[in-house]
Amino acid sequence: MQRTLRDFIAYLSVEKGLATNTLEAYRRDITSFAHFLKQNGVAGFEEAQRRHIVAYLQSLQKCGRAASTLSRNLASIRSFFNYLFAEKRIGENPAADMESPKLEKRLPRVLSTQEVDLLLEQPDCRKIGGMRDKAMLEMIYATGIRVSELMSLDVPDVNLDAGFVRCLGKGSKERLIPLGSVAVRHIDQYLLYSRPKLVRDENERALFVNQHGKRLTRQGFWKILKKYAHLAGITKDITPHTIRHSFATHLLENGADLRSVQEMLGHADISTTQIYTQVTRRKLRDVYEKAHPRA
């Protein structure tokens, strides 16, 4: 089973060009399914039947997993068996035509512009770490990039003179995203005064580094974000994706067109971006009901 899974991950990496985080998600999902098969006396993937897949999804549901988790696991399993069938490693595809559970579309949690301002005011730019944190927070709000994209940036990816950042998104797709003047100013200060004091290896290419001079991790950024959210007195549960959601929502609220926001976010399908229009409509409705005398 392990060798088959390694072949599948290699196929996704080489043939499909999927990002490392996506590959790890596939690996976790299929490994979990393989463990379930072993527990139920199924020796290999070639012996798996549709009933085993259904039973596995039911076991996840009984454990209280969300519909989105079930849907993702089924998508991983379906892709895996499609691969095995195409490679003629199995005679029949047990996952063929299996439909994902209907997902309830939840509106993304966003911060108000006032909350964003409060958050961005927290880093102490008189300190080396604070200068770096300010640059990171300003950049992620100015661009709406994913935290994994932020952490993977190298110094040459940022063109401060032109006011753009070059970003590699899902599937290694490149996009250029504008940087606002405030973000440019703080990134410039970080590069001039903070990063040189943090970096110990002159060959280090990472834009944002930790106290040891190495590339900052996603987990490291999460901790930094949580710290400043607490200092700002923001009680909402904030994640890096909350900043991304806020970026998109605030752009649309201020007149940006949907296609431009889609391009900046790196969404392959505009329907993914359209959920932010529901957030802005809901806000308009709230304003109307509070302000109109006959609402």
With cut-offs at 50, 70 and 90, classify the pLDDT of residue 251: confident
Q: How far is residue 116 from each of residues 59, 109, 220, 225, 287, measured CA to CA in Å?
A: 40, 13, 20, 12, 20
pLDDT 10s digits, 188-199: 999 999 999 999
Write down the catalytic residue from 166, 214, 215, 267. Answer: 267
Q: What angle do CA 94, 170, 76 make, to 5 degrees?
A: 15
Per-residue model confidence (pLDDT) at position 243: 92
Query: How many CB atoms lie under 10 A from the CB of residue 89?
Result: 15
| Active site (annotated) includes residue 241 | yes
Q: Please, what is the average pLDDT of the chain?
A: 88
Measured CA to CA, the distance from residue 210 to residue 197 in angstroms comes to 11
User: Is there a catalytic annotation at residue 51?
Assistant: no
Q: Which of 134, 186, 244, 250 is catalytic?
A: 244
pLDDT in tens, 149-189: 999 999 999 999 999 999 887 777 788 899 999 999 999 99
Residues in the chain: 295
Q: Active site residue: 65, 109, 170, 214, which one?
A: 170
User: Which pLDDT does position 268 carry in this prediction?
Assistant: 73
Per-residue pLDDT of 102-141, as tens digits, reads 655 566 788 999 999 999 999 999 999 999 999 999 999 9
Quick check: is 223 catalytic? no
Catalytic residue (choose from 241, 259, 281, 282)? 241
Q: What is the pLDDT of residues 68-79, one digit of tens each?
A: 888 899 999 999
DSSP-derived secondary structure for 49-110: -HHHHHHHHHHHHHTT--HHHHHHHHHHHHHHHHHHHHTTSSSS-TTTTPPPPPPP-PPPP-
Q: 89 catalytic, yes or no?
A: no
- pTM (2 decimals)? 0.62
Q: Is the dihedral of CA 80, 82, 83, 89 positive or negative?
A: positive
At position 165, the amino acid (one-letter code) is V
Cβ atoms of 146 and 240 within 8 Å: the answer is yes
Residue 38 falls in the annotated catalytic set:
no
Radius of gyration of the CA atoms of the chain, in A: 23
* Distances, alpha carbon 56 to alpha carbons 13, 60, 73, in Å: 26, 6, 10
Answer yes or no: are the C-beta atoms of 195 and 209 closer than 8 Å: yes
Ordered by where they begin, the domains of the chain are: 2-86 (1.10.150), 113-290 (1.10.443.10)
Q: Is the pLDDT reported for residue 274 higher than 80?
A: no
> What is the pLDDT, as a whole number, of residue 29?
95
Catalytic residue among 146, 195, 245, 250: 146
